[in-house]
Each structure stands twice: as C-alpha cells, then as structure tokens.
Amino acid sequence: MNDFDYIRPATVPEAVAAAAAPGAAYLAAGTNLLDLMKGGVARPGRLVDVTRLPGLDAVEWLEDGGVRIGAMVRNADLAHDPRFAASFPAVAEALLSGASGQLRNAASVGGNLLQRTRCAYFADLDSACNKRVPGSGCDARAGENRLHAVLGWSDACIATHPSDFCVPLVALDAVVEIEGRGGRREVPLAELHRLPGDAPEKDTALEPGDLIVAVRLPAGAAAFAGHARYIKLRERTSYAFAVVSAAAMLRLEGGVIAEARLTLGGVAAKPWRDAWAEQALAGARPDEEAFRRAAELALAGARPSGDNAFKIELARRLVVRALALAASGTPERVPALPGSPFSSLPELHHDV
C-alpha cells in the first residue's frame, strides 16, 4: 500500500475542497476501497474521511411520502428499518442479499453506489485493463469472461457493475444528491453510472471532489410495495456477487398491470432498466405470456462478450421468475435467503 495523507474534515464543504485535489479519495467504511488499496489497484495520495460529517447518517421521511437516505446510513440499518422495508421491500431484499452480515453492518449507502467492478482482470495488476490503466487493453475479452457483460459493453471493457442495492433503486427512479465544488445538484441514479464506450476508466458522472450526500426515493415508489421482488442468481448463496439479478415491481388494478418496473443487474456496467419491457407489461394480465414477452424485450439487445451466451437465456428466465413472484405479492416477511429464487416458500421466511 502506498503512503497517503489522511484528512478528517468537519463539514461537507471542507470535505469537497480536500477531495478535489488530484489523487484524493473519500473514505467511508472502506469495504471496497481498502481492498483495492491493499492490492495496489487504487493508490490515492489523500484519504478524506467522511464518516464523522454531520447530517449524513439519517433516514428522513419527507412530507410528500418520499424518503431521503443519508450517504452514511449503514446498509444493515436501512434494510432492517421496519418502515423502509415495508415501503420499499425490493430494496431491503436487495440489501440483505449482498455481501455478508459483517460487511452490511459496516458498508454505507453512498459507498454501495460507488463500488468498483469485481472483474478479476481489473484487480490483477499483471493484466491489461482499460478501466485501471486507460489504453492498456482488456484481457477479459479473450480471458475468463463467463460472468461479464452481455448488454452495453464495448471492445474497451466488458466488466459489470456489482451492486445489488442499485438495481431496485434505479427501477424506483431514485435520485442522488451530490455536493460538489459548484454547490449541490441532483442526478437520477439511472444516469450516475456510465457505460464503458471508449472511456471505461470513467465509472460515473461524478467530478473531482463530488461527494454523494444522500439518495432520495420519490413518494410514488411506495405504490409498488405490494408486488415487488429482487431476485439474484449467484454461484453460492452465502456470499457472492450476482451472475444475473432482477428487480421486478408491479402495480395491479382490476386484475391487470397498471404499471411495471423492471431492472437487471449483473449484465452491464450499470443497472439495466428497460422501458420497452415496462411499456409492454402495462395493460397486460400478469401471466406467463406477458412475462415472457417482457423478458424478450428486456434482452433484445443482448449479445455475448465472450463465453457468456448462457447469461442471456439465464436473464430471460430470471425476468419471468421475478415478475411471477412479484405478481403473487410481496411476502409479509423478508425471505430467509433474501434475493434467492429458492426461498419463496412461506415457511422459509423470517422477520426483519
């Protein structure tokens, strides 16, 4: 690990000023950053500790029915908040399906949004990786790539975004509040993460010094609470990133789908929401035929980036599964194996 300066600012403006310097990075829980620093992947010359900044660790319910989540709220605390879990059950399920209990107790909401890819070539200093060293190439293209992107990838990068939390947030039109050198601004979460194009080193739309201070969900997001699920296929249920995941949410009226939300994870460099699939579900009966049609539309632009053609069919089937589970109704209790397609039986549920 390289030598670095450590700064603990007292206010958000002080933090932004300190982090705007070249080579600076914010430090929250550090569950991702410190691993990258130990491996030499990240080498910041300055760490700006934001863990003690005032006003970033609260869940605030807004007058219009929406909710504002401070960037330093811990993942476990948010997932286990009874009111939040009841209002946004797919988000709670996604949080509880990620990492381990110990990591969820430490990891922050803001940090979760900014996780770096878990591509093995990104983490290996002996491999060519355009995301780590721009212009060096992408060894994943001809390497072990069965878990890589099938949507939105480019010849420069085929990595995927690792967050579970972001997938239902994008489906629910979450907004990110950012404090920067020019003051505070808001960015839809769907626009925060970037597809690789020819500049895969730019993960997000953030500028130097930008600090995520909160995530906000609109009041209308709670309208899906009765029919919302997050389903995650992974190589082991205990602790693994998604091979493919899906957040499916429905609003039913008179036995038909009045409105649908559908976002995929594990398939691209950002959570992948498909408006065509959502529009096709609106007005349809919640049956397998409609779900299969939506799945075909959601994966219409998918193509293998290597030895991963299986992920396309896997994603189609997961969309159908997630929509069927959402249509059957949100469980009264969080499943014992959150996010798992194998924990849909009532006897496997436990209280939050």
Nearest to 92 by CA among 116, 109, 111: 109
End-to-end CA, the chain: 39
Domains of the chain: 1-54 (3.30.43.10), 226-341 (3.30.390.50)
User: Distances in Å between the alpha carbon of 216 and those of 64, 186, 212?
Assistant: 12, 10, 11
C-beta of residue 31 within 8 angstroms of C-beta of residue 75: no
CA distances to 164, 230, 234 from 238, in Å? 14, 16, 9
Q: In the numeric block, which tokens belong to residue 15?
A: 């933090």
What DSSP element (H or E) covers 319? helix 310-327
Q: Is 346 exposed, middle or buried (0-12, 13-18, 19+ CB in 10 A)?
A: exposed
Residue with tokens 């299986």: 310
Amino acid identity of 262?
Answer: L
CB of 144 within 8 A of CB of 127?
no
- The tens-digit pLDDT sequence of the chain (352 residues) is 789 999 999 999 999 999 999 999 999 999 999 999 999 999 999 999 999 999 999 999 999 999 999 999 999 999 999 999 999 999 999 999 999 999 999 999 999 999 999 999 999 999 999 999 999 999 999 999 999 999 999 999 999 999 999 999 999 999 999 999 999 999 999 999 999 999 999 999 999 999 999 999 999 999 999 999 999 999 988 789 999 999 999 999 999 999 999 999 999 999 999 999 999 999 999 999 999 999 999 999 999 999 999 999 999 999 999 999 999 999 988 887 899 887 654 333 333 3
Please list the helix, strand and coil fractions of the chain in percent, rounded to the nearest 5, in that order: 30, 20, 50
DSSP state of 46: E
